[in-house]
Structure 1
Amino acid sequence: MSTEPETTPAPAPAPGSRIHGCLLGGALGDSLGYAVEFDDIAAIRARFGSAGLQDFSALDAGSPFSDDTQMTLYTADGLLEALEWANDGVAADITACLWLAYLRWLGTQGVAVPPSAPVQPPRWIDGQEVLKARRAPGNACLSGLATGEMGTVQRPVNPESKGCGTVMRSAPFGLVPQLGPESVYKLSAEAASLTHGHPAARQSAGLFSLVIQGLASGLGLRDAAEAALGHLRGGVLHKGEAPDADVLARVDAALRLAGSSLGPEELVSELGEGWVAEEALAVALYAVLATAPVPGTEAAAGAPEAHFRAAIAVAVNHSGDSDSTASIAGNILGTYYGEQCLPESWLAALEAPEVIRGMASRLAAVTGA
């Protein structure tokens, strides 16, 4: 007879908790990483010590969230509008709703919305002053929207751009339970094409959205990543398109290396700095997988919060796009664990949590979560 104590699996997070966890977790990672976004690892260590930036308590003045969280919330609002129309029995072009939402975000950044673009009445999100701050927005996001053209996969704007501005805003696509994997990928990829034209940009965004969908449906962290990669290899791509070699190589490397413990220098050498889409996704996936506690161990007893803290630290402390890699990691773990993984002291330091919770509540309500 076994003398091992019986353990009862923790209940799965409620759908609403996953939505709140995803948006809040992403904002926390974004905020901590934004404090060092343009610093290399030497500068981070010089400022915060050999372990780097580990906690908001090290930031005397706190740290606001960046354009990553702003655009994620506007993605959620574009989906929200389309779902509101659908619930009223009116069909809406979801990608067009997302484009209009991004154009409204563009207006908050002090960039004139092109006169050729459709005019839309303001929505709840547009009245939130905190979202009107300019927080180092990506050039491709600004220039792609400023053309006034609705970029598509077939007729992309910024055709050579594959910056991470597509990935960091794409978590909400995976939070809509009414959508199947093909629809999630298609919508995410088409929304990416509104600003970035390179196949790696839209494929990385679609892959990330599929990871979030897998987690929201109850898959484990590695299972969700492998399932998303299987979809990419197996046919969710647009007709005639092949999986991008760089996307496959970076994500495969993240999965392969997850059992190792890479230092910040090795992380960048193996997976990249995160400024482009596939690198940002790979760094975030590595961060959450490499720090996952082994079930049944003492470390597992401290999960989920300990896992969240450890993963965000890995995603922040490197010479690269720290806010985007940490934002993506926060989205992933917030979806996986729900709100229970989010440190209370971090939430207390978070800028405008009521705005993020407000959007999460609206998305949860319209999806029936």
Structure 2
Amino acid sequence: MSATAGAVWGRTEQQDFRSRVRGTLLGVAVGDALGAPVDGLDLQGIRELYGVEGLVDMVPAYGRRGSVTHLTQMTLFSVDGLIRAQVRRDTGAWHPPTDLHRAYLRWATTQRDWGPDERRKDDGWLAREEWLYARRDPVRTLLLGLGDETMGTLEAPKNPGEAGPEAAARSAPFGLLVGWEPQLVVQLAVECAAQTHGHPTAYLAAGAYAVIVHALARGDSLDGAVQRALALMAARPGHQPVSDALQHALGAVRQGMPTPDRVAGLIGDGTADGLVSAAVYCALVGEDVRHGLRLAVNHDGPSAVAGALTGGLLGALHGETALPPAWLAELEGRPTMLELADDFAMEMTQGPALHGPAGSSPAWLARYPRGA
């Protein structure tokens, strides 16, 4: 986002952007929460519990309806890291992957500690949200990747053999950098994915997913957004599995009525390319958000990550008001998500007024400290 970005946003554009930011974060969380109770079950197991149609509504996980997993937690810390990167830019320290890594380390702390440590003044407000200090089945890859202070890079990635979908599932916020060029969005998402998932399939899937969200947040159609991603991916070494998976998603749309078997076929062995492909498919063929998310969680594959990825796409495409109100009402942490989404929208549209050369807001810098 340029230093003068705030000057080019009209009121209507700001409202649309805020709705898409809210929609993206809430969409990730709603899809995650819908899939969490059946994560790890196959379709037969889901139908035995919930009937022939499978899971059609929020049911309890982790002791309550609407609970989210580590996928949503990390997505929120992605947003926090992006805001902090913008705030730190004024100091001349402009390296967003470092700010994202620090944010992910703050998430890792929530998985080790019982609650916030008020002595860590540089943590900012998100890391003081007590509800985030819940361990929601984070995969070992994440804990290993963030188990020390060393930041994984494309040259020296963490977990170089890991092709799982978790890095892609935290990458929707990169797509909300609507003032950035698409290739820069891809690069940032790819670099940040390599901090935990070092296999090219994992980090390139994260880049593809982020740039699809980016096109949607700028008003493109989902089909058009996927075509843009394919064009950008083509220049990246190792892109073929991800590109092929996206092509398979587009092809599956023309194969008739959506079925759980078709979703499971796209997911394949559960690597990042397959999950992003399935999410694109569910978002494309869903009659509405509710239908798309139900498709995303009722199959033999991992339900929470498929739901989260699909929800991010649908939220960016349609905005906040398209999400099912009854599901939002039960969503764990919703006030935090709305607050963070609105902060992100304000930073991206009015950042210079909050911490620019002309003056700064002490309250904003207390929420998003420059120190860490």
Are the counterparts in 2 of residues 48 and 58 from structure 1 also a CA contact under 8 Å?
no
Provide the C-alpha distance between the structure 1 equivalents of 2:267 and 2:127, rounded to a whole number of angstroms.
36
- The aligned residue for residue 140 of structure 1 is 141
Deviation at 1:272, TM superposition (A): 1.7
Which residue identity is paired with 1:62? R
- The aligned residue for residue 243 of structure 2 is 248
- The aligned residue for residue 175 of structure 1 is 176
Counterparts in 2 of 1:186-265, with a 5 A limit?
A: 186-233=187-234, 235=235, 237=236, 241-243=237-239, 245-259=240-254, 260-265=256-261
**TM-score for both structures, normalised by structure 1:** 0.85
SS at match of 1:154: coil
Structure 2 CA distance for partners of 1:270 and 1:208, relative to 1, 3 Å: closer
- The aligned residue for residue 302 of structure 1 is none
Provide the C-alpha distance between the structure 2 equivalents of 1:207 and 1:323, rounded to a whole number of angstroms.
19
Structure 2 CA distance for partners of 1:127 and 1:365, relative to 1, 3 Å: same
Larger deviation: 338-347 or 103-112?
A: 103-112
1:83 corresponds, among 71, 78, 86, to: 86
Structure 2 CA distance for partners of 1:359 and 1:334, relative to 1, 3 Å: same
Structure 2 CA distance for partners of 1:191 and 1:215, relative to 1, 3 Å: same
Deviation at 1:256, TM superposition (A): 0.5
Are the counterparts in 2 of residues 108 and 131 from structure 1 also a CA contact under 8 Å?
yes
Are the counterparts in 2 of residues 35 and 63 from structure 1 also a CA contact under 8 Å?
no
Provide the C-alpha distance between the structure 1 equivalents of 2:320 and 2:262, rounded to a whole number of angstroms.
31
- The aligned residue for residue 4 of structure 1 is none
Q: Deviations over 1:112-149 (max 9, x none)?
A: 9xxxxxx9821111011111100011211110111432
Deviation at 1:15, TM superposition (A): 0.4
Answering whether residue 68 of structure 2 is matched by residue 68 of structure 1, we say no
- The aligned residue for residue 283 of structure 2 is 288
Are the counterparts in 2 of residues 100 and 120 from structure 1 also a CA contact under 8 Å?
no
Provide the C-alpha distance between the structure 2 equivalents of 1:107 and 1:224, rounded to a whole number of angstroms.
35
SS at match of 1:176: coil
Answering whether residue 278 of structure 2 is matched by residue 277 of structure 1, we say no
Deviation at 1:89, TM superposition (A): 5.4
Deviation at 1:57, TM superposition (A): 6.3
Deviation at 1:330, TM superposition (A): 0.6
Larger deviation: 67-76 or 171-180?
A: 171-180
- The aligned residue for residue 346 of structure 1 is 327
Structure 2 CA distance for partners of 1:111 and 1:151, relative to 1, 3 Å: farther
Structure 2 CA distance for partners of 1:124 and 1:111, relative to 1, 3 Å: closer
For structure 2, the 5+ residue unaligned runs are 1-11, 115-119, 351-372
Which residue identity is paired with 2:318? Y
Which residue identity is paired with 1:84? V
Q: Deviations over 1:16-64 (max 9, x none)?
A: 1000000001100000100111111111001111111111268894130
Answering whether residue 311 of structure 2 is matched by residue 309 of structure 1, we say no
Deviation at 1:230, TM superposition (A): 1.2
Structure 2 CA distance for partners of 1:163 and 1:212, relative to 1, 3 Å: same
1:110 corresponds, among 104, 112, 116, to: 112
- The aligned residue for residue 267 of structure 1 is 263
- Percent identity, aligned pairs only, is 34
Q: Deviations over 1:281-335 (max 9, x none)?
A: 011011011225xxxxxxxxxxxxxx10000000010111101111111110111
**TM-score for both structures, normalised by structure 2:** 0.85
Answering whether residue 302 of structure 2 is matched by residue 321 of structure 1, we say yes
- The aligned residue for residue 298 of structure 1 is none
Provide the C-alpha distance between the structure 2 equivalents of 1:272 and 1:254, rounded to a whole number of angstroms.
12
- The aligned residue for residue 127 of structure 2 is 126
For structure 1, the 5+ residue unaligned runs are 1-10, 113-118, 293-306
- What is the RMSD of the two structures over their aligned residues, measured on CA atoms? 2.0
